[in-house]
């Protein structure tokens, strides 16, 4: 089959199916979707499908949200409107830490967590815990499965450190007060942040966040 035939075959698919296929392409690469726009009119109109923006891979932007202050404005708008969980994470970080709009920031981080974006889930949980919402914060953090394996939570924290590295974040006194309400017994290796049992895991993850931002 020639490339032209492949293209005709793709164009002949119902728009709905084409949107679904392109949303899968979008989840792996924003560049590939950019190329689809150049191929044909039928395909470029399917790229405007909401599912494409919902699934669009925004990894470069999440790893450096500062870039979205000057670039990608319309892309970010479309992705947020399509409930892309990584776009909600980026917007949440900006609202919370730059514009000091904690309510709107938490709204976007919650949407990111609801979309099962791990880094958003992690940050949302830590901020809930640091601002005194222990019950919900504990539940959201648990959704990353730390009781069975620390791996996913640790990766989310590592990536949050990359995303947040260029932001100036203030340690609010309530963060420390709320961390202390989770303080484990003294037998829990207080000086070793990486040895974490069920009693000290939450406390130590909060402590890592506070040490990182101060």
CB of 200 to Zn ion, least distance (A): 3
Q: What are phi and psi of 184, to 5 degrees?
A: -85, 175
Largest CA distance in the chain: 70
CB of 138 to Zn ion, least distance (A): 16
Residues 6 or more apart in contact with residue 105 via CB below 8 angstroms: 92, 93, 94, 95, 96, 97, 99, 127
Closer to Zn ion by CB, 55 or 204: give it.
204
Shortest Å distance, C-beta 203 to Zn ion: 8
Residue 200 binds to Zn ion (criterion: CB under 5 A): yes
DSSP letter assigned to residue 131: T
123 lines the binding site for Zn ion (CB under 5 A)? no
Residue 197 interacts with Zn ion (CB under 5 A): yes or no: yes
Q: Is 75 in the site for Zn ion (CB under 5 A)?
A: no
Contacting Zn ion within 160-189 (CB under 5 A): 188
Q: Which is nearer to Zn ion, 55 or 196 (CB)?
A: 196
**Cα–Cα distances in Å, from 46 out to 34, 36, 65, 89?**
12, 9, 27, 25
Q: DSSP letters along 38-53, please? A: HH-HHHHHHHTSHHHH
Smallest distance, Å, CB 197 to Zn ion? 3
Residue ranges in contact with Zn ion by CB under 5 A: 188, 197, 199-200
């Amino acid at each position: 089959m020639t490339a032209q035939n492949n293209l005709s075959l793709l164009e002949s698919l119902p728009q709905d199916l084409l949107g679904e296929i392109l949303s899968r392409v979008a989840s792996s690469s924003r560049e590939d979707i950019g190329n689809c726009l150049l191929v044909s009119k039928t395909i470029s109109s399917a790229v405007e499908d909401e599912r494409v923006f919902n699934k669009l891979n925004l990894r470069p932007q999440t790893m450096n949200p500062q870039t979205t202050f000057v670039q990608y404005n319309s892309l970010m708008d479309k992705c947020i409107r399509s409930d892309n969980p990584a776009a909600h994470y980026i917007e949440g970080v900006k609202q919370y830490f730059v514009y000091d709009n904690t309510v709107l920031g938490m709204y976007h981080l919650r949407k990111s967590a609801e979309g099962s974006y791990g880094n958003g889930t992690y940050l949302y949980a830590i901020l809930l815990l640091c601002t005194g919402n222990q019950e919900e914060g504990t539940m959201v953090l648990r959704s990353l499965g730390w009781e069975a394996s620390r791996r996913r939570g640790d990766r989310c924290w590592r990536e949050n450190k990359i995303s947040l590295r260029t932001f100036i974040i203030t340690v609010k006194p309530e963060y420390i007060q709320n961390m202390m309400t989770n303080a484990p017994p003294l037998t829990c290796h207080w000086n070793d942040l990486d040895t974490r049992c069920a009693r000290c895991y939450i406390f130590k993850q909060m402590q890592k966040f506070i040490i990182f931002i101060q």
